[in-house]
């Protein structure tokens, strides 16, 4: 991959797929206007997220050189210069904001909130234990809101709650993977890790994993969901969610994974099968 493209971390763009949840569960995929807005919101988040990645890599390049994996990043390794990185980051920022204020729905404040959230996180809040993970989850929740409220779709409360539980789970899994990979040097690479311990994070993971499965299961069988979709068969997708969660925990504890959800999805055939099994079943149930 070209270093400038690698700097944008395009594999992370899959996280912006949260924008399409509203189209899927709101039966709006037949509405060209809403589809266009959702696609624009997805593109805007891709550009804004890449701008954030570039600026963070610029700020952390010296520290990244000491990290076993991050030292291979373009700025830390020296394959991309500072001037080129700044120009690329600004271009992504302006492009993302242009989409946010034009065709990406009627709530540009969501995109501004995303930028402010990341600025606060990078400046100091990433060092505050537990709050750091809640802020990561908040970024995902803003994506959900951009694909629901932002394009005129009322979000289900159960779905929002499930999204919160899932993103907290992924955030704590990331911290658990970092703690395990860096061992005694963990605090030197990410200061907040000195406040975490493996048993504590394992408890957090158990709570959020259970919360994800329970809230999603309750969403599929709630009277509101059955009335909206005209079927109770959405509960058939629950086994895929449960299998995916358990597989992710297995990857985290037994195979050294869990640090990057985007990479995990593409690296593990079981997670990929669970995802496509879930998506295919959802589409089959809702298309009836």
Q: pLDDT tens across 197-250, in order?
A: 899 999 999 999 999 999 999 999 998 889 888 888 999 999 999 999 999 999
Q: Which of 117, 139, 155 is the last residue of a domain?
A: 155
Q: What is the CATH number of the domain that holds 137?
A: 1.10.357.140
Q: pLDDT tens across 5-53, in order?
A: 888 888 889 889 999 998 888 888 888 999 999 999 999 999 999 999 8
Same domain? 205 vs 101: no
Same domain? 181 vs 261: yes
Same domain? 127 vs 179: no
191-198: Cβ within 8 A, 24+ apart: 191/127, 192/126, 192/127, 192/128, 192/129, 192/132, 195/129, 196/129
Find the domain containing 216 and state its range: 156-288
Same domain? 226 vs 113: no
Same domain? 171 vs 277: yes
Q: What pTM, to 2 d.p., does this model score?
A: 0.87
Counting the structural domains of the chain, the total is: 2
Q: Which of 124, 155, 186 is the last residue of a domain?
A: 155
- Cβ(169)–Cβ(212) below 8 Å: yes
> Alpha-carbon distance 73 to 6, whole Å?
8
Q: Which of 127, 155, 183 is the last residue of a domain?
A: 155
């Amino acid at each position: 991959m070209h270093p400038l493209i690698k700097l944008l971390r395009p594999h992370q763009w899959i996280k912006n797929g949260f924008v399409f949840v509203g189209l899927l569960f709101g039966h709006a995929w037949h509405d060209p206007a809403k589809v266009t807005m959702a696609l624009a919101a997805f593109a805007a988040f891709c550009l804004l997220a890449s701008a954030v990645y570039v600026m963070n890599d610029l700020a952390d390049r010296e520290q990244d050189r000491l990290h076993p994996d991050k030292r291979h990043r373009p700025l830390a390794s020296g394959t991309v210069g500072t001037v080129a990185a700044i120009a690329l980051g600004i271009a992504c920022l302006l492009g993302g904001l242009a989409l946010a204020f034009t065709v990406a729905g009627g709530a540009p404040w969501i995109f501004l909130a995303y930028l402010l959230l990341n600025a606060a996180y990078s400046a100091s809040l990433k060092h505050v234990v537990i709050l750091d993970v809640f802020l990561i989850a908040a970024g995902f929740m803003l994506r959900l809101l951009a694909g629901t409220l932002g394009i005129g779709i009322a979000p289900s409360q159960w779905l929002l709650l499930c999204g919160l539980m899932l993103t907290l789970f992924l955030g704590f899994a990331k911290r658990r993977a970092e703690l395990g990979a860096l061992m005694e040097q963990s605090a030197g690479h990410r200061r907040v890790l000195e406040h975490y311990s493996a048993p504590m994070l394992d408890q957090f993971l158990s709570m959020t994993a259970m919360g994800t499965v329970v809230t999603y299961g309750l969403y599929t069988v709630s009277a509101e969901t059955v009335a909206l979709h005209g079927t109770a068969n959405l509960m058939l997708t629950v086994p895929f969610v449960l299998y995916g969660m358990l597989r992710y925990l297995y990857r985290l504890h037994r195979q050294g994974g869990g640090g990057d959800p985007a990479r995990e999805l593409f690296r593990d055939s079981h997670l990929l099968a669970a995802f496509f099994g879930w998506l295919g079943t959802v589409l089959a149930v809702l298309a009836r």
